[in-house]
Structures are given as C-alpha cells and as structure tokens.
Amino acid sequence: MRPAVEEPAEEPRPGAVPPWPADPRIEAREPRNLLLLAVHQIVFRVGWIFKTESVIMPAFLDAVAGPNSGWLRGFLPVFNRIGQSVPPVFLADRLTHVRVKHRALAAFTALLSLPFATLAVLWWTGAGQGDWWMPWVFLGVYCLFFVFAGMYHLSSGMVQGKLIRPTRRGLLLTRAAVVGTVPATLAAWWLLPGWLERPDGGYAQIFTATTVCFLLSGLLVLLLYETPDRPGADPPGPRRSSLADLGHVLRGDRNLRRLVVVAMLWSSCLIVFPHYQAFAREELGLSGVHLMVWVITQNVSVGVWSLFVGPMADVFGNRLTLRTLVFGSAAAPLFAASLPLLPGTMGARVFWTVFIALGITPLVLRILVNYALEICGPDRHPRYLSTLSLCVAAPFLLSPLVGWLVDAVGFERVFFAAAGLVLVAGALTFTLAEPRHHVRFGEPAVVEPGADE
C-alpha cells in the first residue's frame, strides 16, 4: 500500500502565490483524495443528522430544562458560533505551520466524538435526568463540542484548499451532500422513530450513534494522500498577536470586509435556528415523531439543493452562488412566521416544509468557506477562514436576547426581523468581487487584497 505522506516537492520561489497544486503528486492523486473526502463527509453527515441544530439539540435542552426555557435556548447559538470561531483565531498560525494538514483534520474529527460520548454515558446511566444541573452540564459539553468543531472546519478548509482545486470543490460538496443524503435519511428513518418514542427520549441511543460516526469519519481522513509542506520561517520583525493579525487582514482587504458584513447579517437566520421546533410545539401543537420528519426533510433538502449548488459554484463561481443562497435563506423565517395566519390546522400540516428551506443554510456556510479560499493564497487560508468565522460569531452574542424576545414578543416578530436582515445581506453580495474574473484558466483564483471589482 502506498504511504499517505511523502517528502515535499521543491519549494516555490519566495513571495509568490503558489499555483494549485503546490506539488504535482497531489494533482495526480486528486481523484483519490476527492473520493476519500466525500466518503469522510458522508459518514460525518450521518452522525450530524442525529444532532441536528434546528431540531434534536434544542429539543434535548427543552427536555432537561423544562418550560419557559426560551432564554436558555438562546445560549445554544452563542456557544455554537463562539466555540467555532474564537479558538481558530488563536490557533490559525499554529495550523499554518503544521506540515501534514490531514492529520490535524483527523484528530479534530475524532475529538468531536468526546462530548457526545459524555452525554451518552450520562443518559445511559440515568445520571442528571431531572436534576437542576443537567441543563448547565449540557451547555458546557455543547460549547466544548463546538470548540472542536471550529478547529475541524478550519482544518477541513485547509485540507480542501491544499488537496482539491478550486473548480472541483463544488463537485466535492455535491458528492458529499447528495450521496450522503441516502444513508443519513435511511438511518434517521429507521432509528429515530423508535428512539424518540422511548420514555427517556432515546437520547442515549442518539448520542451513541453520533459518537460512532464521528470516530469513523476521523479514521477515514487518515487515508488521504498529502505531501508535507516545507518548514517555513517566520517573517522578520515583531510578530503580531492573533487579534492584531486579524485586524491587519481586515484592514488590508476591502473585499474580505464586505464578505464578513454579508456573513454577519446573514447569520441572523442561524440565531433563530433553535426556535423552530419550539415554535412548532408551542404555536402549532407538534412534537414527538414530528422531530424525525423535520430532521429527514432538512437532510433530504440539503442533498437536493446540492445537486444545483455544487455545479453552479464550479461553473459560475462562488459569488453568484452565495448571492442566490443568501436570498433563499430568507424563505424559512418568512414562511414560518406566516404559518399562524393560515386557516385552521393548515399551518401545522405544512410546517414540515419550512425545513426544505432550512436545507439551504449549511450550503451557505460551505460556499462562504469556498469563497474565502479563493480570495487569498494558500498561506493565508487559515487566517482568512478564522477571521470570517469570528466575524460571523459576533452577532451571536445577542442570541440570549433573541431568546428572551421570543418569550416576550412572540416567534413571528423575531422570524420576520431575521428574514429582513438576511435580505439586506443578499443585497450586499452585489458589492463582492468575483475571484475568477481575475485569473486565466489554470491559474490560482486569488483576488489581491483590497480588490473590489
């Protein structure tokens, strides 16, 4: 069996942005790496479906926290985004100097299983069920999970940036999302109904399944082929802190500043994610097995949308794709807020269709990453990705306030406000540059810092 790591190729000339690939041996093995990354993401997705942020996680918190827990639900998006965003800012430089990127990705993928293994053990043993401290333990474990998730997404972006050319990253997205829809849907359809009908909610089984899938997906990453980067020396002069470097990157690239504004406004649709299932339970009287229907609907929706999003990104570029998806993200909160206006029980009968629109949301996050990878050279990938992630997280500090507003003024007004901010974000995508307008075929798609046309 051919080893997964070989000696590095000749170092590119100083100051040059290396073309893709930096090593011709990576190009020769790109189909193999593309397949392995797709399989890794498929297994990862099967695990993720059992912990869907819009359904399972807030439902579990409501189960352990009791009624009037809207303000507590509001902490979920905070821990989600802050956990994903802050650690990468401080560790981006360290990952830049990791010579074999896929080993870091494998490690962080495996670490994602630890929080859910903890929850599974607690629920299997009955510890914490009905105790006052369980909601706080859950929130702490939830935050730890997203600390690992932030490093996972950063290392995943770096691996894709190194091993997959820009015009095939959409293909990777499509393969992983479309093919992954089938096993994830079958697993949810087969297992969730029986688990959710258990007296304890079946959360021990749900968390165990998530743990196993994350471990398997981490092992698959170890099979990737990658040549190690050459050791790099730090530039002369004083070394900036991570936060100072973040500010320097934002000041130096006008297009990146515009991108983070778009992402920050769009993130309002993520902030209301945990409240959809509560809205259905409190306003429409839906719960129990409906959770399984919503999880499956959203999962299938991601796969179907990916059939169009991946090819669109590869052919027409990530800017147009991002614009289309951002505008589409406004549909879910707008439609959900309108359901109580429908006559009789019609709103309850069609609520599941909200999750068709919610299937767009994870694709926006992936296109944001792919766009960021295109507007800078590989040496800047960690810093650009961590900067984008941190700026997206900033609005989530308001999430507990949003949860309180849900209890105070109702779901509908909060959903309408979120949709309005998303539409503004869509309008601002017209100010972004298209990276592929700056390159000829076969050259790296990079917009120079400060470019805005």
For 92-147, give the DSSP string: HHHHHT-S-HHHHHHHHHHHTHHHHHHHHHHHHHTTTTT-TTHHHHHHHHHHHHHH
pLDDT tops 80 at residue 247: no
Q: Percent of the chain at pLDDT above 90?
A: 24
Handedness of CA 427, 431, 435, 438 (dihedral sign): positive
DSSP bridge pairs for 5: 226
pLDDT score, position 12? 40
Q: Percent of the chain at pLDDT above 70?
A: 85
pLDDT tops 60 at residue 236: no
pLDDT tops 80 at residue 93: no
The residue among 363, 292, 361, 307 whose CA lies nearest residue 332 is 361
Q: What is the mean pLDDT of residues 423-432?
A: 95
pLDDT tops 70 at residue 19: no
Phi, psi of 226 (to 5 degrees): -155, 135
Q: What is the mean pLDDT of residues 429-441?
A: 71
Q: Considering the chain, what is the average pLDDT of its residues?
A: 81
pLDDT score, position 62? 80
Return the minimum-mean-pLDDT range out of 10-24, 42-56, 198-212, 340-354: 10-24
pLDDT band (50, 70, 90) for residue 17:
very low
Determine how many CB atoms are found less than 10 A away from the CB of residue 207.
26
pLDDT score, position 208? 94
pLDDT score, position 54? 67
Return the minimum-mean-pLDDT range out of 33-47, 273-287, 406-420: 273-287
Domain chopping of the chain, boundaries: 29-229+241-437
What CA–CA distance (Å, rounded) separates 379 from 389?
A: 17
pLDDT band (50, 70, 90) for residue 79:
confident
pLDDT score, position 32? 92
Alpha helices in 228-289 (DSSP H): 242-252, 254-266, 268-271, 275-284
pLDDT tops 70 at residue 260: yes
What CA–CA distance (Å, rounded) separates 82 from 413?
A: 25
Q: Are 50 and 371 in contact (CB under 8 A)?
A: no
pLDDT score, position 211? 95
Does the pTM exceed 0.85?
Answer: no
pLDDT score, position 243? 64
Q: What is the mean pLDDT of residues 30-41?
A: 91
Which is the CATH superfamily of the domain at 29-229+241-437?
A: MFS general substrate transporter like domains (1.20.1250.20)
Q: What is the mean pLDDT of residues 296-312?
A: 86
pLDDT tops 70 at residue 426: yes
pLDDT tops 50 at residue 29: yes
Phi, psi of 199 (to 5 degrees): -60, -30
